[in-house]
Amino acid sequence: MLNERFFSEKLMRWNIEANNRVMPWKGEKDPYKIWLSEVILQQTRVEQGLKYYNAFIRAFPTVKSLATASDDKIYKLWEGLGYYSRCKNLISTARYVYQELNGKFPPNYDGLLELKGVGGYTAAAIASFAYNEPRAVTDGNVYRVLARFFGIGSPIDNPAGKKIFSKLANDILDKNNPALHNQAIMDFGAIICKPRNPLCSNCPINNNCYAFKNDVVEELPVKEKRMIRRKRWIYYLVIEYDRKLYTRKRTASDIWENLHDFVPIETRKEVKIPSLFKSRQFLELFTTGSYEVLHVSSIFRQQLTHQDIAGQFIRIKTQRPLKLENYMLLSQKELSQLAFPKFINTYLKD
Annotated catalytic sites, by residue? 38
Indicate the pLDDT class of residue 45, thresholds 50, 70 and 90.
confident
Average pLDDT of the residues of the chain: 93
- Neighbour count for residue 272 (Cβ, 10 Å): 8
- Neighbour count for residue 251 (Cβ, 10 Å): 9
Does 2-219 match 230-348 in CATH topology? Answer: no
Look up residue 246 and give its DSSP letter: E
What proportion of the chain, given as a percentage, has pLDDT over 70?
99
What proportion of the chain, given as a percentage, has pLDDT over 90?
85
Mean pLDDT in residue range 61-81: 96
* CA–CA separation, 135 and 179 (whole Å): 9
Look up residue 257 and give its DSSP letter: T
> What confidence score (pLDDT) does residue 2 get?
59
Higher pLDDT, 228 or 231: 231
pTM above 0.95, yes or no: no
C-beta separation of 6 from 179 below 8 A:
no
Mean pLDDT in residue range 89-112: 97
| Spans of all domains in the chain | 2-219, 230-348
* CA–CA separation, 115 and 106 (whole Å): 9
Indicate the pLDDT class of residue 23, thresholds 50, 70 and 90.
confident
Range 2-219: architecture per CATH: Orthogonal Bundle (1.10)
Mean pLDDT in residue range 217-236: 89
Mean pLDDT in residue range 270-275: 95
* CA–CA separation, 316 and 245 (whole Å): 10
> What confidence score (pLDDT) does residue 1 get?
58
Alpha helices (runs of H) in 109-244, residue ranges in sequence order: 109-112, 120-131, 140-150, 159-172, 178-191, 210-213
> Is the pLDDT assigned to residue 44 strictly greater than 90?
no
- Neighbour count for residue 334 (Cβ, 10 Å): 13
Does domain 230-348 fall under CATH 3.60.10.10? My reply is no
How does pLDDT run across 331-348, given as a tens digit for each residue? 999 999 999 999 999 999
How does pLDDT run across 158-203, given as a tens digit for each residue? 999 999 999 999 999 999 999 999 999 999 999 999 999 999 999 9
Indicate the pLDDT class of residue 305, thresholds 50, 70 and 90.
confident
CA atoms within 13 A of residue 273's CA, in its CB half-sphere: 14
**CA distances (Å), origin 132, targets 135, 174, 176:** 8, 11, 8
> What confidence score (pLDDT) does residue 286 get?
87
**CA distances (Å), origin 198, targets 139, 146, 270:** 17, 14, 41
Q: What is the DSSP string of 26-75?
A: TT---HHHHHHHHHHHTTS-HHHHHHHHHHHHHH-SSHHHHHTS-HHHHH
Give which of 193, 131, 143, 204 is closest to 168, Cα–Cα.
143
